């Protein structure tokens, strides 16, 4: 990034490699502070017009920005009675301007970049210290101005996140060379991320409406980028390497990846990728497309830059779509669902696999089971919370693996205490709006990439007005339910009401239906041959509330089933 500071909508990025602010003098003389003042005054003009007019009146013929900078310099070095300025005639107004300026800064999504070329000195070792010092500088700058104008010290001090929300160390790796991918060679990789949690983000959209579709040409053909405007998050998605490239306007999505997908090391990131994703391509389209580069055996995804697509759900689901397509090529069956290993206090272990589209009640059932059976369950181990894969090993065992180390879930679907329990490690998206989401830590990478035996496979049915659970007696009875992929959609995507999606998975299986059907029949045939219970559980999550909690009854039936095994 060439600029020392970059603004876009409600996002600001500080480039420490270009300009690092050491003290208040540096801050006031920086071009970035002047840009901030200009944007703040525009905000003040819109939301606090009376204060804005007062600032203009006090500044006379001088630009308000110049006047404020001059006054602030005086406030930092002189006693109040030594300063002659019209703004000091109404201290309550000046205090209000200082407070609003501080609030405006804190309401921005604030990030810092630090670039390195394999150095082992200050930049690599101290980027967290540098960002922490910036946090203290901004906080002390605000407090000094406030206390100087009000004429006394504060009695209560709140240690807020006044600097950045996250700091990113970017390193220039030597990438794996692939013909046709030269445009990506100079893009820096995210080496480390420091987040100040809880992190609250405000993307411009709050749900996913586009579907992911196949394109007949590689999105990298003719693709040109300004390398300093892009960063790469090398993600370990299950056992695959996905190089996720983000245009800097979407840096919030890149940061949120850290709570969902394991960040690859340099040694891992410079290997041949299984998938490549471009997020935020500026081309006046709303594309969400993928392409299979059969020559190099790489799945390539592209998500265009647009207001409607500025939502982390697009990032997550495009990554998972690419993962699922690659896994089907390897003969593994992607499962849109959740899996948990229950370790009971009697020493037994049960691997429970649930399948169902968004809003079907998979995560909610697991959460309810955990609460209901707290006296019987020693602990539980989450294998995956949204997407995993099932395969058959050489010995004929049916095994599952996960993809994500976190969970991207609706706040309203969580048990009331969950969001608060994990708040200090969570990333929230538009928590004040409908369909508010949170990314919670869920499991470790070592756990999700193990082979986990399946003891029960259930479809999460949220549309049938029944309670409890049912087991199917044959593959012929089971397949229609799983293949139809019905759910009563809650409006978290483009669907609402009763809908049907092939195998409840619009992220790969729906696009490559024929290939997926072969894998489905192979896996289900093996499940029934091994006499592994297959059935459906009635969550009732998409039905009108009748006062009897379907989730709890489903969890109770599941508990009785587990105890009886």
**Phi-psi label, residue 497: left if phi above 0, alpha if psi -120 to 50, beta otherwise:** left
Q: Give the burial class of 152: count Cβ atoms within 10 A of its Cβ; 0-12 exposed, 13-18 middle, 19 or more buried.
A: exposed
- What is the second-level CATH architecture of the domain 333-405+444-564? Alpha-Beta Complex (3.90)
* Residue 161: Cβ-neighbour burial (10 angstroms; 0-12, 13-18, 19+): middle
Length of the chain: 565
Please state which architecture CATH assigns to domain 178-329.
Answer: 3-Layer(aba) Sandwich (3.40)
**CA of residue 504 relative to chain centroid, distance:** 22
Q: Give the C-alpha separation, 333 to 421, whole Å.
A: 34
Q: Is the dihedral of CA 434, 439, 443, 447 positive or negative?
A: positive
pTM score, two decimals? 0.92
Nearest to 230 by CA among 299, 170, 177, 283: 170
Q: Which of 186, 283, 183 minimizes the C-alpha distance to 225?
A: 183
What SS3 class is residue 306? coil
Backbone dihedral angles phi then psi of residue 536, each to the nearest 5 degrees: -135, 150
Residues of the chain with CATH 3.90.228.20: 333-405+444-564
Q: Residue 421: CB partners within 8 Å, gap ≥ 6?
A: none
Considering the chain, tell me which residue range(s) the CATH 3.40.449 domain(s) occupy.
178-329
Give the angle 38-43-47 at the CA atoms, nearest 5°: 150
- Rg (alpha carbons) of the chain, rounded to whole number: 27
CA count, 13 A, side-chain hemisphere, 456: 24
Q: Which two tokens stand for residue 313?
A: 């759900």
pLDDT in tens, the chain (565 residues): 888 999 999 999 999 988 889 999 999 999 999 999 999 999 999 999 999 999 999 998 899 999 999 999 999 999 998 999 999 999 999 999 999 999 999 999 999 999 987 655 445 557 888 889 999 999 999 999 999 999 888 888 888 888 999 999 999 999 999 999 999 999 999 999 999 988 988 888 888 887 899 999 999 998 888 767 999 999 999 999 999 999 999 999 999 999 999 999 999 999 999 999 999 999 888 889 999 999 999 999 999 998 888 889 999 999 999 999 999 999 999 999 999 998 988 888 999 999 988 778 887 787 788 788 777 888 889 999 899 999 999 999 999 999 999 988 877 666 655 655 677 889 999 888 878 888 988 899 999 999 999 999 999 999 998 999 999 999 999 999 999 999 887 655 555 678 899 999 999 999 999 999 999 999 999 999 999 999 999 998 888 765 567 888 898 888 888 877 6
b/e 299-320 (16+ beta carbons within 10 angstroms → b): bbbbbbbbeebbbbbbbbbbbb
């Amino acid at each position: 990034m060439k600029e020392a500071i970059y603004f876009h909508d409600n996002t600001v990025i500080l480039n420490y490699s270009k300009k690092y602010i050491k003290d208040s003098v540096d801050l006031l003389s920086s071009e970035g502070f002047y840009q901030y003042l200009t944007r703040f005054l525009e905000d003040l003009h819109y939301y606090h017009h009376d204060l804005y007019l007062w600032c203009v009146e006090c500044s006379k013929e001088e630009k308000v920005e110049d006047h404020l900078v001059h006054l602030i310099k005086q406030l930092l070095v002189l006693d109040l009675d030594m300063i002659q300025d019209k703004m000091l005639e109404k201290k309550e107004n000046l205090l209000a301007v200082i407070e609003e300026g501080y609030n405006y800064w804190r309401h921005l999504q604030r990030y810092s970049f630090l670039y390195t070329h394999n150095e082992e000195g200050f930049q690599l070792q101290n980027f967290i210290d540098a960002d922490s010092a910036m946090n203290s500088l901004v906080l002390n700058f605000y407090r000094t101005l406030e206390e100087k104008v009000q004429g006394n010290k504060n009695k209560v001090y709140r240690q807020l996140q006044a600097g950045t929300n996250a700091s990113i160390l970017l390193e220039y790796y030597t990438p794996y060379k692939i013909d046709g991918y030269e445009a990506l060679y100079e893009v820096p990789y995210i080496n480390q991320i420091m987040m100040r949690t809880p992190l609250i983000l405000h993307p411009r959209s709050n749900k996913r409406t586009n579907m992911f579709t196949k394109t007949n040409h590689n999105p990298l053909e003719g693709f040109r980028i300004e390398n300093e405007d892009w960063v790469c998050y090398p993600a370990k998605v299950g056992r695959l390497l996905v190089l996720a490239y983000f245009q800097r306007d979407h840096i919030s999505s890149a940061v949120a990846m850290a709570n969902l997908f394991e960040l690859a090391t340099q040694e891992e990131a410079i290997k041949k990728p299984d998938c490549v994703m471009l997020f935020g391509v500026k081309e006046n389209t709303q594309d969400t497309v993928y392409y299979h580069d059969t020559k190099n055996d790489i799945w390539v995804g592209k998500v265009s830059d647009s207001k409607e697509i500025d939502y982390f759900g697009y990032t997550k689901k495009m990554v998972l779509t690419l993962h699922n397509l690659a896994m089907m090529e390897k003969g593994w069956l992607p499962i849109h669902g959740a899996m948990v290993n229950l370790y009971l206090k009697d020493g037994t272990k049960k691997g429970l696999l649930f399948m169902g589209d968004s809003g079907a009640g998979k995560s909610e059932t697991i959460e309810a089971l955990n609460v209901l059976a707290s006296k019987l369950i020693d602990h539980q181990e989450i294998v995956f919370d949204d997407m995993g894969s099932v395969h058959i090993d050489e010995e004929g065992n049916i095994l599952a693996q996960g993809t994500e180390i976190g969970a991207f879930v609706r706040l309203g679907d969580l048990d009331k205490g969950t969001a608060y329990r994990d708040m200090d490690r969570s990333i929230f998206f538009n928590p004040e709006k409908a369909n508010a989401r949170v990314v919670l830590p869920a499991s470790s990478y070592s756990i999700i990439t193990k082979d986990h035996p399946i003891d029960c496979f259930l479809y999460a049915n949220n549309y049938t007005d029944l309670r409890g659970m049912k087991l199917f007696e044959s593959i012929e009875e089971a397949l229609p339910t799983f293949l139809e992929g019905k759910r009563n959609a809650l409006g978290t995507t483009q669907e609402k009401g009763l809908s049907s999606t092939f195998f409840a998975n619009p992220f790969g299986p729906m696009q490559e239906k024929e290939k997926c059907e072969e894998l489905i029949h192979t896996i289900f045939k093996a499940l029934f041959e091994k006499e592994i219970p297959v059935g459906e559980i009635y969550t009732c999550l998409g039905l009108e509330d009748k006062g009897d909690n379907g989730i709890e009854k489903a969890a109770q039936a599941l508990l009785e089933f587990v105890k009886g095994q």
